[in-house]
Structure 1
Amino acid sequence: MGPLYPFEGKRPLVHPEAWVAPTAAVIGDVEIEAGANIWYHCVLRGDTNVIRIGPRTNIQDGTIIHVNAGRQSTIIGADVTVGHAAIIHACKLEDRAFVGMGATVLDDAVVEAGGVLAAGSVLPPGKRIGALELWMGNPAKLVRVLTVEQRAGFDTTAKHYVELSGRHRASLAPLLEPEMHSP
């Protein structure tokens, strides 16, 4: 389990069935639900507001998740995928939202259930991606509405990462156990 740091009396809560990579940093008022997986070199900093990560959600390598002091928490639903090196700041990602690699979601923005933000895109403050909508660009704009069949392909990612996190947990377990010394 990766480093979990308290901040002003608030400690991260990580479900025993969640996985946090050993190089991730989870700080303050952060809750990570069952099956969620936080990958290498991620930073989840819940110092001045709360961060919630829903079940089976994957936060991929190098992602930064933060909040807005006293105004806006970051709430991420179930079965969400956040691609490598994304920035998620003081926003809401509903169930099955998909945020591509290197994308940024800014304050008060919402990605509704099943919405998709393409890799490298920037969703400006207060914008809302609707269900099944694909947005891309900087600033991100609606490109098209996906069919249910097209959107279904994105849903395989969350399941894959839950399975893969179990394999990483098992592979790393011998390295992370404290060494026992005999007298």
Structure 2
Amino acid sequence: MSPDLILPYEGVLPDFASRPVWCGRGSTVIGAARIGAQAWIGDDGVIRADGQSVTVGERFWLGPRSTVHIATFTHGTVCGDRVTVGRNSVVHACTVGSDVVIEDDVVILDGATIGDGVVIEAGTTVFPRASLESGFVYGGSPAKSRRPIDRAGVAERAERLRESMSDNPPSPAPEPHEADETVFVARTARLRGRVGLGAGASVLFSCALDAEVGPIVVGADTNIQDNTVIRTRGEGVVIGRDTTIGHNVRVSDSRIGARCLIGIGAAVAPGTVIADEVMLAAGATTDPGQLLEGGHLWGGRPARILGPLDAEKRAMMARIVEGYCRHGREYRVAQVEAE
């Protein structure tokens, strides 16, 4: 069984040591990814190696709506053997040892190193460049050691997590969506209802945009990254231009300004208003009705001001937008050629 969508990046296709044991609906593998034997990729699982490589060992399990990605200019991602990733988690530009369990809703960020025989509990955020020592259970945001665990304990946690993922209900099939020729909508993305996409916008792999109640309006050159879910239940969602919505973000009825970055695994609660030029850190959450003033880095649960949005951060945000505009053009061509 093969992933639902396989695409090259700069002419390089993924390399599978053997045919995966299972690949669910919407599963996607892209670019310079090396996948070990006996892999299991759940519905909407995304492995994207576009700019750096991704290497995963034998018996790698990737849960439904989870994402493995790289940092384009700095870090690839490496996972050892017998790594189990739960639902809606992100493994991003990091190094993960063997016999590791990454439970549901975990975010592992750039440059982090995870030792062998580790369990990362559900909802944990592993901060950039963190080092998690072998043989412990970790939890919290940022991740901290909770207690020691032996290999038998890790194997038991892995088995329980894998069994629960096997029972996950299947994702619905994507529906066709007409868009401007400058827009990229991944074939595995699902758009429903009144979704408007500005010129140059990108909706990446396995995203779900549900606008059957209120509308979703996305500004020009804005990118919505893999496995993000935007769902309206009232007035709708408006996102300004030149904004990045990171992997596995959750957005409810809200307003997000122009030139913003919403970090990996963040959650934007109903009624939130985010001004122009805001960075919301990975794993952060907002309170219902919260106002995030422009010109600041916000983070935490709930979000609070962590510091000014300095010139370096603004330049980084602009580079991401430029890079995803380029990705959108490249993926639009690659997806057509793959059909």
What is the TM-score normalised by the length of structure 1? Answer: 0.86
CA deviation map 1:1-33 (0-9, x unaligned): x9446xxxxxx6522210100000000111111
Equivalents in 2 of 1:170, 1:143: separation in Å?
40
Equivalents in 2 of 1:62, 1:112: separation in Å?
24
Tell whether 2:281 aligns with 1:111: no
Aligned residue number for residue 159 of structure 1: 322
Aligned residue number for residue 53 of structure 1: 218
Equivalents in 2 of 1:91, 1:163: separation in Å?
27
Q: Of the candidates 240, 247, 263, which is equivalent to residue 84 of structure 1?
A: 247
Structure 1 contact 13–31 (Cα < 8 Å) conserved: no
SS of the residue 2:306 aligns to: strand
Deviation, 1:151, is 1.9
Segments of 5+ residues of structure 2 without an aligned counterpart are 1-172
Larger Rg: 2
CA deviation map 1:76-97 (0-9, x unaligned): 1101100000001101111111
Equivalents in 2 of 1:166, 1:17: separation in Å?
7
Range that drifts further, 13-22 or 113-122: 13-22
Structure 2 contact 260–317 (Cα < 8 Å) conserved: no
Equivalents in 2 of 1:80, 1:123: separation in Å?
18
Aligned residue number for residue 303 of structure 2: 140
Segments of 5+ residues of structure 1 without an aligned counterpart are 6-11, 177-183
Equivalents in 2 of 1:112, 1:148: separation in Å?
18
Structure 1 contact 132–146 (Cα < 8 Å) conserved: yes
Structure 2 contact 243–321 (Cα < 8 Å) conserved: yes
Tell whether 2:207 aligns with 1:42: yes
Equivalents in 1 of 2:296, 2:208: separation in Å?
28
Equivalents in 2 of 1:85, 1:128: separation in Å?
22
Structure 1 contact 3–23 (Cα < 8 Å) conserved: yes
Equivalents in 2 of 1:14, 1:109: separation in Å?
27
Structure 1 contact 41–61 (Cα < 8 Å) conserved: yes
Equivalents in 2 of 1:23, 1:102: separation in Å?
19
Runs of 4+ in structure 1 displaced over 4 angstroms?
A: none
What is the TM-score normalised by the length of structure 2? Answer: 0.47
Structure 2 contact 195–209 (Cα < 8 Å) conserved: yes
Equivalents in 2 of 1:100, 1:110: separation in Å?
16
Amino acid at match of 2:336: A
Total equivalences in the alignment: 167
Deviation, 1:35, is 0.4
CA deviation map 1:61-115 (0-9, x unaligned): 000001123xx21001101100000001101111111100000111111221110
* RMSD after superposition: 1.6
Q: Of the candidates 212, 227, 230, which is equivalent to residue 65 of structure 1?
A: 230
